[in-house]
Amino acid sequence: MKFTTLSLLFVFTLMSTLGFSQAPVVEGVKTPVKPEPASASSDQELLKLIVTVMDKSNSVRLNNVQVQLINDIDGRLVDSERTNEFGVAEFVAPLKGDYRVETCDPKYLGGAASISNCNTDPFRLCIEGFDFVIYEDAISTLTSDHIIKTDMKLDRLEVGKIVDLDKIFYDFDKATLRPESKRELDQLVRALEMLPGLDIQLRSHTDSRGTNEYNRDLSQRRAESVVEYLIAEGIERERFSAKGFGESRLVNECADGVECTEEQHQKNRRTEFEVTAYIPQPCEELPDVTLTAVRN
């Protein structure tokens, strides 16, 4: 059995690269993924994708969740499955394609991930958005089969639920959104577009450097930066509010007078949202929204 387990980058989103002729490098970490080449008699190399869907808070597997495999080039639906009693959905598709994977369940915030051609020589797959990835070829019946097992963990939607937006970042002492925040923001835009019954409060936090009063003002401006982004993307202003908490809710020990690294301070400069209202709707009744966040 050959496999690689890739750790989370930030908590919410995993990015990885799987190579098919040499061990690729992912964020500076070598991952020994080197499946056997396809046999000469194979007509087409196939990707077998196994998706396990779980509740993010307790890792309980979720059955009857809609999972869709979509062609990320033209938006065509490749296949749609419901997770079985073990929370698993399986797909088979040509290996050399660009795909996105989307979930839908009225009780949960939809998940999204992508599997695409890295446009490298030798051929590699770029995988993004899953919470866990493992490559396995031991159960292949043909050498042309490439089996990828993934986990997707979903946030349950209920009033009072707080969802971390782990990839929204700000520079020190600024309210300007950093460019790498775009993917997370676009995911939030898509969630609000797809779930018309969802209203939220955006909540922003600072690190402990600076006065309490200054940090409250800074965090309010940061929350308003997200508000401005959502409005610019067409989300109705009445569906969300913004509140800055300053340094009053640190997630680590980096309070006033404590020496910490920049990385530790960064963890406190964060944005999240609280569900303030939510009316569930069946997946069949929800708008069909293009996932520009994954495709761009």
Instruction: Tell the CATH superfamily of the 162-279 domain.
Output: OmpA-like domain (3.30.1330.60)
- Reply yes or no on whether the pLDDT at 52 is more than 60: yes
Query: Judging by DSSP bridges, how do beta strands 132-136 and 145-154 pair with one another?
Result: antiparallel
pLDDT at residue number 78: 94
Confidence of residue 141 (pLDDT cuts 50, 70, 90): low
Topology match between the domains 15-154 and 162-279 = no
Closest by CA to 13, choosing from 262, 294, 296, is 294
CATH class for the domain made up of 15-154: mainly beta
The 10 Å CB-count burial string (b at 16+, else e) for 190-227 is: bbbbbbeebbbbbbbbbbbbbeeeebbbbbbbbbbbbb
The whole-model pTM stands at 0.74
Mean pLDDT of the chain: 80
pLDDT tens column, 259-276: 999 899 988 888 999 999
pLDDT tens column, 281-293: 888 887 765 443 3
Confidence of residue 135 (pLDDT cuts 50, 70, 90): confident
Q: How many CB atoms lie within 10 A of CB 267?
A: 16
pLDDT at residue number 288: 66
pLDDT at residue number 143: 53
- Reply yes or no on whether the pLDDT at 37 is more than 90: no
pLDDT at residue number 25: 28
Span 101-115, mean pLDDT? 92
- Domains of the chain by residue range: 15-154, 162-279
- Reply yes or no on whether the pLDDT at 157 is more than 60: yes
pLDDT at residue number 167: 79
Confidence of residue 160 (pLDDT cuts 50, 70, 90): very high
- Reply yes or no on whether the pLDDT at 138 is more than 70: no
pLDDT: which is higher, 245 or 290: 245
